[in-house]
Amino acid sequence: METVKSILRSILPSKLWPEFDCSSGLPPEKVGRECGRLSTDALESLRETGGEGQVRVPGYERDPSKVKNWILHFGPGNFFRSHQCVFLDEVLNRQAEEGDRQAEWGICAVSANRKKKETLAAQDFLYTVWTRSLEKNRARVVGSLMDWADPSDETEDVPERLAEKETKIVTLTVTEKGYMLKPDGSLDTDNEKVKHDLESLSERKEKGKDSKMNLKTPLGLITAGLQLRYERGEPPFTVMSCDNLPGNGDKVSKAAREFARALGDSDFSSWIESECRFPNDMVDRITPSTTDEAKEKIRENFGITDAMPVVAEDYRKWVLEESGFPCGRPSWEDAGALFVEDVKPYEALKLRVLNGGHFALSYTGLLLGHNYAHEAMGDERISSLLEAYMDEMRSTVPTLPGLSDSQFKEDTLGRFKNPYLKDSLERLAMDGSDKFENQMKEGLHDLAKENGPEGVRTSSFVIAVWISFLHKGKLEGEDGDGNELSVEIVDRRAEKLSKLAGEVFKTPCDPEKVRTFLEAACGDNFSCCEALVRGVNESVKAIADRGIEGALESEGWGKRTKKAQKEEKETTVSAA
């Protein structure tokens, strides 16, 4: 504890030293007050004891029977609850302040996770979002999630719920693998779950339109809901992916049309293409996994006993296409969302710099024995590598009105350093092949094509580090603080790519092995990029000869890049 205090005293103004309990970040008189298990009945107690804005609770009425407009959401994980739910919660609170007390919009989660449903239902679907940083320690109870539909429950009819006229928008955060797409972006009709859903929908056509459907995929359920609307002559709902995919709306649109065509219904497929809206959007908020320690701190700090809280950074951003909501939408702009004609440039900056930065940070950090993002950022070798990588990638992004890419980079680096998030590198390293395909591939291809080998120097090293991680298979040992470090590869293509990574390091002077790996990871176009093949092969040789630490040192990472130093100097002069 004394070490924590000394660190805080070195970075906080002295006038704040006596006011905060270092374990919680709250004034001592506010620590430990209890409201009991979170529920609707407990909200009044929180209003009375929260004080000074430390706990914000819903100021609107949450009667689902009076909600006129529903958003059905597939994949109610932590990010969804820290991002989309918070945006709607903010909108509803603002409307309540203006006199509209009863919420007109609500969110219904769609998931077969019964444990999560039962846990949240016991709290009236209320939960806490705890915002942590050096500047803020705040909690808000979010109330925009109001219902749950379980597709595995025989008493519920999710396609019918989707077809109801009150359902205006359907959103998804199911990660890259949840869309059941092939590497080329087409629907994977060989996937067992996709085949099951296609057969179930075909059987409905034979047995009659009122027969019960047993569907297993989000895309199958959404297609079934759209089909019911199509048959009844009713307008479709908007479908919006909120996953970190380039052109996320375009991808879902293509998959839905292919699903309809696979059913042999060309008219239905044409209706989807002409009438349905699949807006692209960009989402951003770092949301780590919630630990038992976090739950206990929320109870100590705010007196809230919450079985399923979310921890998140203070930063959040949402950029959406403005023309994708013919059935209406919440006024998300009142909560800070940005509506634009073209999301793609914003999406490119975020995916290539932040998500690509997470990719580089996770594998390098794990190989150097770090557990958490903020710890890895304290390693100058990693932070300087990350700056150089971000500088390479942001050069591929067009200029955005009102948004500086250099400032975005600096903000992102600062967000990665937040010690209160305790964002696990193991979490960031999951599903690397999907992330590489969807978040980094386009930018790297553009970079190599335009700049040659020297232009992809840092990016090549990052790919080589990923190959090294796959080659090792499992990391075991201790981190820099003596804590246990045990990490296994979690990736749907782990077996194939790990074998190819072993071949790369078995003969590290053979660029053809690198080419084979790149072709398996992201296709022919990428493996034909000679600049990248050569760059990755050189970095593989450096890692094989000197190890990850020696390779970093030989490449000169461990100092701030010249470009970063120049921009920092220019920023300082400008501020002065």
At a CB cut-off of 8 Å and minimum separation 6, what does 288 contact? 78, 311, 421, 422, 423, 424, 427
Instruction: Please state the φ and ψ torsions of residue 392, each to the nearest 5 degrees.
Output: -65, -50
pLDDT value at position 525? 67
Query: Residue 477's pLDDT is what?
Result: 65
**pLDDT score of 12:** 43
What is the rounded distance in angstroms from the CA atom of residue 231 to the CA atom of residue 237?
14
What's the pLDDT tens digit per position in 413-467?
999 999 999 999 999 999 999 999 888 888 888 888 777 777 899 999 999 999 9
Per-position b or e across 115-127, b if 16+ CB within 10 A of its CB: ebbeebeebbbbb
Q: Coil, strand or helix: which one is 317?
A: strand
State the pLDDT at residue 155: 87
- For residue 16, pLDDT over 60 is answered with no
How far apart CA 116 and CA 120 sit, in angstroms, is 6
Q: What is the mean pLDDT of residues 459-486?
A: 83
Domains defined for the chain, CATH in brackets: 32-178+189-205+214-338 (3.40.50.720), 343-575 (1.10.1040.10)
Of 155-164, 235-244, 410-419, 560-569, the poorest mean pLDDT is in 560-569
Tell me the pLDDT tens digit for each residue of 130-158.
998 888 889 999 999 999 999 999 889 99
Residue 553 CA to residue 539 CA, distance in Å, equals 12
Crossing angle of helices 494-506/530-555, nearest 10°?
A: 70
Going from the C-alpha of 549 to that of each of 67, 260, 379, 480, the distances in angstroms are: 57, 52, 11, 14
Supply the pLDDT for residue 571. 47
The pLDDT score that the predictor gives to residue 192 is: 96
Q: What is the 3 state secondary structure string of 25-36?
A: CCCHHHCCCCCE
410-428 per-position pLDDT tens digit? 999 999 999 999 999 999 9
Residues 292-350 pLDDT 10s: 999 999 999 899 999 999 999 999 999 999 988 999 999 999 999 999 999 999 999 99
pLDDT tens digit sequence for 209-227 = 556 678 999 999 999 999 9
570 pLDDT band (50/70/90 cuts)? low
The pLDDT value recorded for residue 486 is 79
pLDDT attached to residue 402: 75
Tokens matching residue 540? 């593989």
Going by pLDDT thresholds of 50, 70 and 90, the confidence category of residue 559 is low
> What letter represents residue 201's amino acid?
L
CA distance 59 to 92: 8
